[in-house]
């Protein structure tokens, strides 16, 4: 074990449950003591941690597929870091690991919940994004859940984000006839068509989504990858060809809503078009992990697949990074860097 362990670590606590958009005083950056790891545990100095839209749901005290964050406890989520002390077989000081105790500088991690990662194969932060949870979400959601096949026309919302940017490019790589993306700024729209090879893209803030999608996909769409919900889902239903398939991955447009949000007004089209709208959770698709890593590593190496990260420096800016994600200040994966 290392002789000079840190004695304290800063960590973000949820201190009040947000109603609508989170406020700064719903969170507190607090100091915690650090002790040597107990049997079966490792101490990790986090280098990067992930902020993700699903964390907004965990701030509510409601029954869901993941338990709510506890008040006055450290929040958690994906992180990568370096082992600084180990009391577990198979882990040594200097190893790099992916684990689930983000939002803090030093994490006391049960070794069974840590996975070793190789910083020589990919930048460490990539294990939180393109080679991690969001990348697998894109891969599984497109190829498995939406049953994508060559020749499909694909529409993806949140297209400049971590999941969306990968969905569109993966569809192109696998022979989509047309890929259309929507995003919240003209710069993001430009990135989609000029860097990521989308055939068309539009800024959903520039006009009704339904009209802009119709114009961008004159022959209709076969697959819709939904990251947004609301008017995007309604527009997709309207533009679907028969036997269209939607992966319902996220509905970020309503995560801060304080009132129940109305559903699409055109659901009856599902009948005549024989549409399939399928929800997904990435955690159900762990079986695809080896194939996902092999494919994505290959596409990254060949330059067919590109990705971006928006890195916010410093643990003290963790809350701002999370809020920036909800406001669309990120392009690609939003990450807090402690390196
Ligand atoms: N089901 C699963 O297992 C799973 C796993 C991972 C992620 N997800 C979901 O997938 C979606 C994307 O996640 P991500 O991690 O890749 O995040 P992300 O897309 O990198 O970041 C969130 C983006 O959402 C957009 N946004 C925010 N408010 C919006 C609104 N009202 N209307 C339209 N767009 C809005 C912003 O981009 P703009 O500038 O374009 O507005 C922002 O950059 C989220 O809905 C998330 O909850 C689901």
Taking the CA of residue 235 as centre, how many other CA atoms within 13 Å lie in the half-sphere pointing to its CB? 26
Q: Is 0.85 surpassed by the pTM of this model?
A: yes
Ligand 1 atom closest to Cα of residue 254: 31
In short, whether 282's Cβ falls inside 6 Å of ligand 1 is yes
In short, whether 161's Cβ falls inside 6 Å of ligand 1 is yes
| Per-residue model confidence as pLDDT tens for the chain (339 residues) | 445 899 999 999 999 999 999 999 999 999 999 999 999 999 999 999 999 999 999 999 999 999 999 999 999 999 999 999 999 999 999 999 999 999 999 999 999 999 999 999 999 999 999 999 999 999 999 999 999 999 999 999 999 999 999 999 999 999 999 999 999 999 999 999 999 999 999 999 999 999 999 999 999 999 999 999 999 999 999 999 999 999 999 999 999 999 999 999 999 999 999 999 999 999 999 999 999 999 999 999 999 999 999 999 999 999 999 999 999 999 999 999 997
Q: Can you tell me the distance from the alpha carbon of 17 to that of 22, in angstroms, rounded to the nearest whole number? A: 8
Phi-psi label, residue 274: left if phi above 0, alpha if psi -120 to 50, beta otherwise = left
Site to probe by mutation for ligand 1, drawn from 191, 227, 322, 327 as the one with most ligand atoms within 8 Å of Cβ, is 227
In short, whether 57's Cβ falls inside 6 Å of ligand 1 is no
Strand blocks (E) in 58-214: 79-86, 96-99, 106-110, 115-116, 153-156, 178-183, 200-203
In short, whether 228's Cβ falls inside 6 Å of ligand 1 is yes
In short, whether 330's Cβ falls inside 6 Å of ligand 1 is yes
Q: What Rg value do the Cα atoms of the chain yield, rounded?
A: 21
Q: At what angle do helices 209-216 and 230-239 cross, to 10 degrees?
A: 40
Ligand 1 atom closest to Cα of residue 332: 20
């Amino acid at each position: 074990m290392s002789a000079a362990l840190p004695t304290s670590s800063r960590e973000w606590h949820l201190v009040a449950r947000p109603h609508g958009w989170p406020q700064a005083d719903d969170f507190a950056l607090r100091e915690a003591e650090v002790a040597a790891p107990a049997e079966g545990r490792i101490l990790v100095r986090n280098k990067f941690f992930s902020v993700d839209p699903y964390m907004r749901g965990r701030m509510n005290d409601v029954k869901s597929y993941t338990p709510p964050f506890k008040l006055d406890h450290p929040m958690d989520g994906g992180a990568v870091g370096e082992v600084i002390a180990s009391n577990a077989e198979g882990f040594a000081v200097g190893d790099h690991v992916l684990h689930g105790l983000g939002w803090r500088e030093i994490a006391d991690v049960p070794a069974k919940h840590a996975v070793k990662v190789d910083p020589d194969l990919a930048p460490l932060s990539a294990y939180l994004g393109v080679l991690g949870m969001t990348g697998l979400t894109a891969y599984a959601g497109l190829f498995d859940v939406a049953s994508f096949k060559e020749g499909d026309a694909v529409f993806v919302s949140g297209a400049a984000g971590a999941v969306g940017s990968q969905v569109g490019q993966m569809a192109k790589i696998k022979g989509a006839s047309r890929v259309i993306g929507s995003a919240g700024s003209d710069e993001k729209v430009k990135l989609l068509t000029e860097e990521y090879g989308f055939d068309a893209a539009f800024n959903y803030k520039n006009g009704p989504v339904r009209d802009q999608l119709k114009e961008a996909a004159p022959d209709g769409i076969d697959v819709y990858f939904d990251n947004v919900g609301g008017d995007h889902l309604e527009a997709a239903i309207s533009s679907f060809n028969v036997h269209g398939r939607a992966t319902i991955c996220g509905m970020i447009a309503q995560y801060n809503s304080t009132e129940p949000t109305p559903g699409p007004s055109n659901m009856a089209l599902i009948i005549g078009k024989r549409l399939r709208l399928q929800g997904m959770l990435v955690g159900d698709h762990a079986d695809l992990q080896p194939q996902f890593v092999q494919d994505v590593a290959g596409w990254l190496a060949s330059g067919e697949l590109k990705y971006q990260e928006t890195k916010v420096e410093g643990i003290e800016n963790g809350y701002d990074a999370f809020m920036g994600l909800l406001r669309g200040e990120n392009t690609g994966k939003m990450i807090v860097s402690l390196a």
